[in-house]
Structures are given as structure tokens and as C-alpha cells.
Chains A and B, each alone.
Chain A
């Protein structure tokens, strides 16, 4: 095989990393380099430095150390039996690439993952070495997200946490049977064991830093995980239950969903068709409802249809409202915050604005129109000064009226 230069390797190893959805660089400790030493800063909110035509933000240099792997997970483009071209970066190459991108303001930092080569411990050592070199040799103060390897030595995971802002490990599939079928070498219990250990490290650190100022920082941006949607038989109910269990037990910052996308050289066990991207979007919306709108997982499940799937044509909040019409209309001039949050079309910011403004005036429908993006969706579900939607709320065709219009086809479209 001819020798690959850095750009060739980058093409292979970025391509191999793109199935990881996470690119967040928010929520870590604040740092800067104003002392004159080192380079970089983090300021709470991460920045998306570019967007790709897939609509995803590019915030970090997201690459694999190598795409060679001794595992044979069917959904993964890098599995042992796949025919993709293989490449491997040295630690020094990654360090230089990260720094030269960072200095040109292309990125917020590095997201490093890897296929497993030789052994879990060997691979984890290589990953930790990149982070160590960035932090110690170059005094890099930007963001680092490290993916940890499930079976690696806890001491290595501990070191990773000391250098990284965020660490993560993927649960991969929402059901254990799915994992057994598609990733035979991985084990749900071991993955969750590693997450539990990371959680206790993070909690210890938080306790420690309250008492000792010098306590070392362990993964200040917490841990996250990802699961693939549509490669196994799990329906949306299963996925929501699994996600809320993960949030509760391991104090995760985020659960990412990745709609299974057909990969080149796919294994025969996989579905060839991708699930609708909208399904992934609806799951993210339900995730938001649970994290910011006071929905319990049981509420989201109540919004699913008979086969346990969230509707694709309307969002889960509207689906819930249409199912539980007895809770509506809500009086915008009197209702408590938690009920306003249940109104379809009212976001967290709009609700806070309503709560502030209604101290000063009785809100009318056109006031609400100014406080929200669109009043058409909100209208059937609220009382306002001079507005009673009673008839509208009880209409049987409310779903049809509120669902986004399908795009009309052009009658005289130019021939393709």
C-alpha cells in the first residue's frame, strides 16, 4: 500500500467518524489563555464554526485515531469484515492538526474516537496520549471530547477524564437483543458498568472541588452517549424509556440519537433502507420535552400511537395536546408555568416572556402573536383577553388543520 499523507488519512478518518452525532462543545468550565501561556479558551456556550450540507454543526475536529478494528459490529462501517480503506494517525499528527485548525479559528477543539486495535487498553492509551500531549506539551485550553473504550482499565479512563472536557461511551442500540445481534462483541452490562464508574468519578470531583480548590477537574462537561435508531426492532416507546433510564441512572448530559444511515459495504443483517430522518427529529423533540418542558417519559409514551411510535407528521407536544384535550384551553393570563409549557407552539422563552408581561397587562391574542413565532398553532389551545377558542379546541379535524402543509407539487415543473 502506498504511504498516505496527512490529508489522505484525514479524509479516511473523518469520513469514518461522521456517524457519531455529537459535536457539542458547551457546558464546560470557563478557561482562557490571557495569562500569555498556552492557547485557547472555553466560554460556556460552544460555537459552531461551520455547517455541512447535512445541516450538522461543525464545532470540533471529529476524527478517529484509526479505523482498523478487531470488532465486527454489523452497523459499523469500520467493522473487521468491512472493505473500507484503513488508515492510522500518530498522536503527534493529531496534535498538530488540532492546533493548526484551532489557530485559524476553524474549530473549538478535538473529538477523538477510535477503532479498537490490539486491545482495549492499548487503544485507550493512544487516545489518552493525544489528550495529554495537547494539554501538557502545548498547554491547549480548548475543548476535548474523548470516546472511551468499554473494557479499558479504569485507571486509563480516569486519566482520560482528567484531560478531557467530556467523555462518552455509546450504548449503540436501544435494546439488549439488538446489541447482541448487531454488535456481538459488545456487552450492555459492561457498557453501563463503565458509565456508572464515570458518573461516580464526576460526582467525586464535584464534591472534592467544593472542599479543596486544588481538586483536579474530571470531565467538567460530563458524559454523553449515542444510540442508533432504526437498525433494530425497538419502537419509540422503547427508546424513550431507555433514554430516560440512562439520564436518571448515570446523570448523562445528553443522549444523542442517530438515524441509522446506509453505510457502504453493509452487512447482510442490516436493513438497507434508512428510517425517516423525521423519526430522529421527533425523538430529539421528545428529549427536549423531558429535559426542558417538565414532561415525564410516561407523558411522551402517552403521545405515541398504538404501535409505540411518535407521529411523524406532527410534533410530540402537539400529539400529546390532541390526545389530552381536557387540559385545554389554558388561560395565558392565569395559568401556572408548567401548564403554559404544555401549550403547543409556546417555547420556554415565549412562556417566560408571557409570565413577565402579564404582570403589566391582560394579554390579548395579538400580544401573544408578538411574543411567539406563530400564533396559529397556539390559538386553539389558549384563552386570552377577548379570545375564546372553545369550538376550535373540540374540532375533530384539529390535527389536519395544525399539521404542517405537505409541499404542493408543481403542475408544470420543468422536465427532469
Chain B
């Protein structure tokens, strides 16, 4: 026949313990027990357990089970009493049954304690007191709606922290009151019983809105830790919507103003004061690049070969990497390929001294063959490692036109491998602004065996078109 076990409250651990002991000693199956809280009507066909409860015999269980049960009993799941009783019977048979963490019942109970712990933690975090003047002076009152039966289990924290204050926490299940010495329990409350405002809340909202960084929006991370079910009793959450919608706009505005400002700075390079600022920044970046160790190439090369030219240049040429002579001199494009570039620029009517010349990779990569250092092509990760410097140069100079000489430069400029023949001869958009043009590297003209004259003429043509485009843009 079914047995009814009656508990005083939803979180009545002591009542459950006495009842469970009695039931276990009488070897009653979990399926034959009806657990009831408070004065709910009982099953007419069931015998009530209360009469025999007092004579319950003692038996020992591991402390870890007592802790688990004390916590799981606060869960809102109505099956919790029965599940814990099943677990108790198992533990009587095998005192270490709780250690088998892969067992479904152990896992279910573990999950329940975890949810209870989390709810307690969130209550400690999200209770918001409002100040109230009553006959005894100042009292701090909060309205809170926990998910599980945790109010008693949470109270200790508030007592330890706010022992010197008078406070009350009201919930739909019960209320607790602290008068500075003792903790009293009161009946269930409603939201209307709590004060509806507090003088400091506006200041707190000001803080919440100001400490938020609009440049890093992570709404999911917020709602994971502060689920919406708690929002209705937290004053600051009223701001969340407008903060999110304002954020993207705010960051865009920030970047825009700085960009506009560097554009004005660039337009006014004629005035020495502002031109000096970009020049000074470029000097500092160059100085830092001298000690660059972002990839292993610095170990063999003589020095970093940084870009060169006026910081207000309209055209930026990007080559592949410094060669033997550039590495020794520390200047870009001065070896055989550089001399060929100079000649071609002269024929195309472009003044090299008015352009900015740099390389995709800033260290010389080579193989030693006898006394000669033979050029060796930089690989993808070296190009990527060095892209940081090119980006810094581009941010400072903001050239309207950037010319990639050869495949390595084009890869660096567009961030992916591209085919020169397919892209040559017309303007492309570069992701950080301005036009990107692609042509061959002058060293290709030194290497090529067939149609060398034709290839050279085509290179000069490319440069001429680019020069005219630069004049048109200016």
C-alpha cells in the first residue's frame, strides 16, 4: 500500500531526512511513497507516515550525499524527494554509489544541485535593495523572484555582508527580515509590497551605461550570464536595448571621425605643424620596424628595409622584398631591379621622388651559394607576418593609388593569391580605401628571355596609365 510522507516546506531537508530514514528501514520501495508538502489533501487510500517517523533508526551515509540532498531538495522539480530517496536506497547497498558520475540518476541529481547552486549565486548577485524610511530608521528592501526554493539557503550571505543594516527580501514564496540581530521569516509577498523607486538607481544606471564599451558588443555573453528571466527586477537592464542599438553607430562614428581627421591632416600637409605629426608617426613606426621579429627572416638579413618617400605621396609602389644590395644599404629598390624601375618611371613621366616605395616583405630572404646570396621567394606566412607593417604604412600615408609590383605584393595588398595577367591594366578597390593597381615586378623584365622589349614597353605603358590616373585624382 502507498505511504504518504509529509514535509513542512518545499525545502524541508530535516523532514525529508527523518521520513526517508523510516521508509528505508521499513524497506519501502520508492514507487510506493507519495511525498507531500504542507497541508495538501492526502490520498484516501494511503497510510500516513507521521506516526512512525519518530522511531526512525539511525544509519550512516557519506557526507557528500548529505550535501547533495541538502542542495537538491531546494530544486523546483516535484520529483526531487522521490529521486533522492531512490539514491539513498542505492547508497545503503553501496556506500560509494555517488562516485559513479556516469550513472543517469547520479547525473540527474548533480544537474539539479548545479541549477540550485546557480540560482543561489544569481540571487546573491541580482538582488537590488531599495532604501525605505520606516519607524525604526532606514531599511533596505528588495523584491526577488527565484526559480527554485532557495530563499532560506541564500540568506546567510546577506546576513554576513549586511549585518550592520536593517533589510528585507520579499519573494512570492516567503519573505525574510533582518533587524541587525536576528533573521525573521514572514509570509509570501507581492511586488507591490516593495518600494517602487530608489534615489541612487539613476546614478547606478549612469554607471552601467558608461562602463559599457560599445566597441566590443557581445550580447550572447551577457544573456548567458544574466538570463532575461532576472531582468525585470534589475533597474539597469532597462538600458540594454538602447545601448545595443546605439553601439554600432557609436563605434562607426568614432572610426569615421579619426579617419576624417587624418584625411584633413593629409590635406593640410603643406602646413608644417600637421605634416610633422604624420612624419613623426611614420618615423616611430619605422623605428619599431627596425627591431621586428615577427617572422624568422630577421635572423639572416642585415636589417629591416622600410619604405621610403614623402608621407603625402599620391602613389605607393609595393615590391616583393629587398634584394642583396637593398639589404646592405637599407633602402628599397636601388639594385638592378630598382634601376630598371627608375628608367621605366622616367619614360612614363612619373617622378619617383614624389612616390612612396616599399616592399611586401621587409627582410631579405636568400640562399647562400658560395659567396653569393641568391634571392628566395617569401612564403605565405612571411607575407602575412609582414602585412602588419604595410598596413601601418598605408594608414599613415593613405595613398589614393597603390601599385603592386608582382604576385607577392599583390597577395599582400589583396590578402589572397591573385593572377597578375587577369588583374593588370585596371583599377581595383583595396579594402582599406583607395585604388589598387597590379603590374609585373621589374625583376621579371630582367629575367624574361622572349619578347623582352615588348614586355618592357607594356610595363612602361602600365606606369604611364597609373601616372595619369594619379594626376586625375589629385
Contacts and interface: CB of A to CB of B under 8 A. Distances in A.
Interface of A: 6-7, 10-12, 14-15, 17-19, 32-41, 43, 47-58, 61-62, 97, 100-101, 103-106, 177-178, 180-181, 232-233, 235, 238, 259, 261-269, 271-274, 277, 305-308, 353, 356-357, 359-361, 363, 367, 370-371
B251 interface: yes
Contacts of A37: 164
A53 B160 contact: no
B203 to A, nearest CB: 5
Contact of A53 (B99, B240, B295, B382): B240
B107 to A, nearest CB: 6
5 contacts: A36-B163, A53-B247, A238-B293, A268-B278, A360-B96
Contacts of A19: 213
B180 interface: yes
Given A33-B161, A53-B218, A55-B220, A370 B107 contact: yes
A267 B163 CA distance: 50
B130 A306 contact: no
- Which secondary structure dominates where chain B touches chain A? helix
Nearest to B209: A11
Across the A-B interface, give the 5 residue pairs with the lowest CB-CB distance, nearest first.
A306-B381, A55-B221, A55-B218, A307-B385, A261-B215
B137 interface: no
A103 B210 contact: no
A360 B100 contact: yes
A43 B160 contact: yes
Contacts of B163: 32-36, 39
B376 to A, nearest CB: 15
Given A263-B254, A308-B294, A54 B391 contact: no
B157 interface: yes
A18 B258 contact: no
Contacts of A34: 159-160, 163
Contacts of B444: none
User: Which of A97, A100, A103, A274 has the largest number of chain B CB atoms within 10 A?
Assistant: A103
Given A18-B210, A261-B213, A271 B162 contact: no
Contact of B128 (A48, A104, A238, A363): A104
B317 interface: no
Interface stretch (B53-61, B283-291, B333-341): B283-291
Interface stretch (B3-11, B71-79, B118-126, B420-428): B118-126
Given A48-B125, A277-B216, 12 more contacts: A18-B211, A32-B160, A33-B161, A35-B163, A43-B160, A103-B129, A104-B204, A105-B129, A261-B215, A262-B258, A271-B395, A306-B381
A188 B466 CA distance: 46
B236 interface: yes
Contact of A36 (B164, B259, B381, B388): B164
Contacts of B202: 7
B216 A54 contact: yes
A43 B212 contact: no
B207 A177 contact: no
B356 interface: no
Nearest to A101: B204
B384 interface: yes
Given A32-B160, A36-B180, A268-B262, A261 B380 contact: no
Interface in B376-390: 379-382, 384-385, 388-389
B389 to A, nearest CB: 7
